[in-house]
Structure 1
Amino acid sequence: MEHVRPLPTYLAQRYHGWKATTFAENRAWYKRLADEGQRPRAMVISCCDSRVNVTSIFGADQGEFFIHRNIANLVPPYEPDGNQHGTSAAVEFAVTSLKVAHLIILGHSSCGGVAGCYDMCSGHAPDLEEKSSFVGRWMDLLRPGFERLPAEADETTRRRALEHEAVNVSLENLMTFPFVRSAVENGSLSLHGLWTDIGEGQLYSLGISGEGFAAV
């Protein structure tokens, strides 16, 4: 294609280093993954943010997690309207085909998508209000969370609370998917809400019945 260019040199060098070390030392494991297919125990929906490295946080091996990333780790509600839904398709595949036992929503501190939603809902980001903004229309999913923010809190607290709401809203929307609800109710799938503080390296877990986030 006319606009495609070769891989940057530094990435090619890193690949060759991985191929000569990690891959070479675990060749039998990679062949097994290729021949037998994937059987991940958990799906993780996290943000696209480059600072959120799911496999590093959990020390995961290749083939352990089925990972889907999008802006602000959001899950839309169940809407089989014929449009393209990448996140919904990933959830469907993980739950109905891969039969994952755990589905984790992982939010994080200093989320740019959440910050954009906060500014948009506060009337300070007119560009995101435009119908042509893909980010703005995606962040509309988080408007219900913005409406639940404590009015009396300061802005820093409200922004942090909206990052937590991104996890809550996604978990609520997951339960609108019939196959997710069925799997949860029959005990074959459990849902988990997590939020990580990037600067502190701390992981927080959402308690049962909306008890808030507590350190893991």
Structure 2
Amino acid sequence: MKNARPLPSYLVQRYHGWKATTHAENKAWYRRLAEEGQRPRAMIISCCDSRIHVTSIFGADEGEFFIHRNIAGLVPPYAPDGDHHGTSAALEYAVTVLKVANLLVVGHSNCGGIRGCHDMCAGLAPQLEEKTSFIGRWMDLLRPSYERQAGIADETERLRAMEKEAVLVSIENLMTFPFVQAAVESESLTLHGLWNDIGEGVVECYDPDSARFLPV
């Protein structure tokens, strides 16, 4: 396997630092996780963006969150067509096997995926219109969102509205999965829609009563 190379030195140094401190001080906990398996309390679906660090935001330890990340933190609709569906597979495992009690969809400010969808729909990113663009075809999920927000004159406000609506689209799509719907209706699973302002450190949660995202 000629294309796989050794780790960069800075990652090797960081690993040894973690092994000598965090791991060494919590050996019993790591062994318990390894031997007893995972029992996460929540699943988090968030963006791949390197600035979004949900374990830090919520002060979570190893074993607490089952995390799935993709471009813009989207959930596609239920589509058992035999194709590859990484997000749907992670969702099925979390709900039917791990039986998580909470499922959080986390959007964020200045999302590159949302910007890409916006620019594609506005005719500013023709490369994303190509059938060969994985990003473009993934962001097709949000085309209706762009159309609904097109009347907002200010671009910054329009993008922020799209970021938040992407969370709601994902929650709607979650309910198209039979096993999610069954878990929600039996009250063994609760869905939550969040949006994180990276610069301000603010987390907002969707409130169905007011139909708004409100600060936590």
Please classify the TM superposition score into its range, dividing by the shorter chain length: over 0.9
SS of match in other structure, 1:168: helix
CA distance, structure 2, for counterparts of residue 43 and residue 81 of structure 1: 24
Report what 1:83 is aligned to: 83
Quote how far apart the aligned CAs of 1:4 are.
1.2
What pairs with 1:124-139 in structure 2 (closer than 5 Å)? 124-139=124-139
What is the percentage of aligned positions where both structures have the same residue? 70
Quote how far apart the aligned CAs of 1:211 are.
1.1
Quote how far apart the aligned CAs of 1:150 are.
5.4
8 Å Cα contact 1:144/1:169 also seen in 2 = no
CA distance, structure 2, for counterparts of residue 131 and residue 158 of structure 1: 26
8 Å Cα contact 2:152/2:158 also seen in 1 = no
Runs (4 or more) in structure 1 with deviation over 3 Å come to none
Report what 1:194 is aligned to: 194
What pairs with 1:167-186 in structure 2 (closer than 5 Å)? 167-186=167-186
- Comparing 136-145 with 126-135, greater Cα deviation is found at 136-145
Deviation sequence 1:67-119 (CA, Å, 0-9, x none): 00000000000000000000000000000000000000000000000000000
Structure 1 counterpart of 2:140, one-letter code: D
CA distance, structure 2, for counterparts of residue 120 and residue 150 of structure 1: 13
Structure 1 counterpart of 2:177, one-letter code: F
Structure 2 counterpart of 1:12, one-letter code: V
Report what 2:105 is aligned to: 105
Task: Flag structure 1 segments of 5+ consecutive residues without an equivalent.
Answer: none
Quote how far apart the aligned CAs of 1:156 are.
1.3
Q: Against the structure 1 CA distance between its residues 156 and 10, is the aligned structure 2 distance closer, same or farther, given a 3 Å change threshold?
A: same
Task: Flag structure 2 segments of 5+ consecutive residues without an equivalent.
Answer: none
Structure 2 counterpart of 1:138, one-letter code: W
CA distance, structure 2, for counterparts of residue 22 and residue 49 of structure 1: 25
Deviation sequence 1:11-53 (CA, Å, 0-9, x none): 0000000000000000000000000000001000000000000
Relative to the length of structure 2, the TM-score reads: 0.98
Report what 2:160 is aligned to: 160
Structure 1 counterpart of 2:48, one-letter code: C
Count of residues in Structure 1 that have an aligned counterpart in Structure 2? 216
CA distance, structure 1, for counterparts of residue 137 and residue 150 of structure 2: 24
